[in-house]
Amino acid sequence: MSSTELMTQARNELFSHINRCGVLDANPEDQEEWMAETIQYFAERFPDLGQPVLDELQEIGIRYCRPAIPHGSAKSARLDDIEKTEGDAITEVDAIAEVDAAAEVDAIAAVDAIAAVDAIEEVGAITAA
């Protein structure tokens, strides 16, 4: 097996172990300890992997355990709730903007109506004179 294939197999097994062992829900200190023990196991399981590759696997595993966007459907649901809340806030802002725009249109229409009445009165005054 080539070193690339061996690394790929080890990486895939590491991800599988992470998901099966529930380490994603552990606190960071426990994740570090679990990862160190797992990498020791991988050193025995894959003796052809060198220390630099094992160190890289450990780094990949830790990054997988602490992603910028959390894993899992429950966490995704919370993100969806946040997005909905943000969406609701945006919707409210849009609604307020629409009301403001409608009020502005009404104000312009009122000014235009007053101007039209004034113009009609002036025409009537000129015609009467």
- Which of 40, 45, 55 minimizes the C-alpha distance to 6? 45
Q: What is the mean pLDDT of residues 76-85?
A: 54
pLDDT at 47 over 80: yes
Instruction: Read off the tokens for 66.
Output: 């602490």
pLDDT of residue 48: 92
AA letter at 33: E
As to burial, measured by CB atoms within 10 angstroms (0-12 exposed, 13-18 middle, 19+ buried), residue 71 is middle
For position 16, what pLDDT does the model report? Answer: 92
Answering whether pTM is above 0.95, one says: no
| pLDDT level of residue 66 (50, 70, 90 thresholds) | confident
**Mean pLDDT calculated for residue range 75-88:** 55
Residue ranges covered by each domain of the chain: 1-68, 70-129
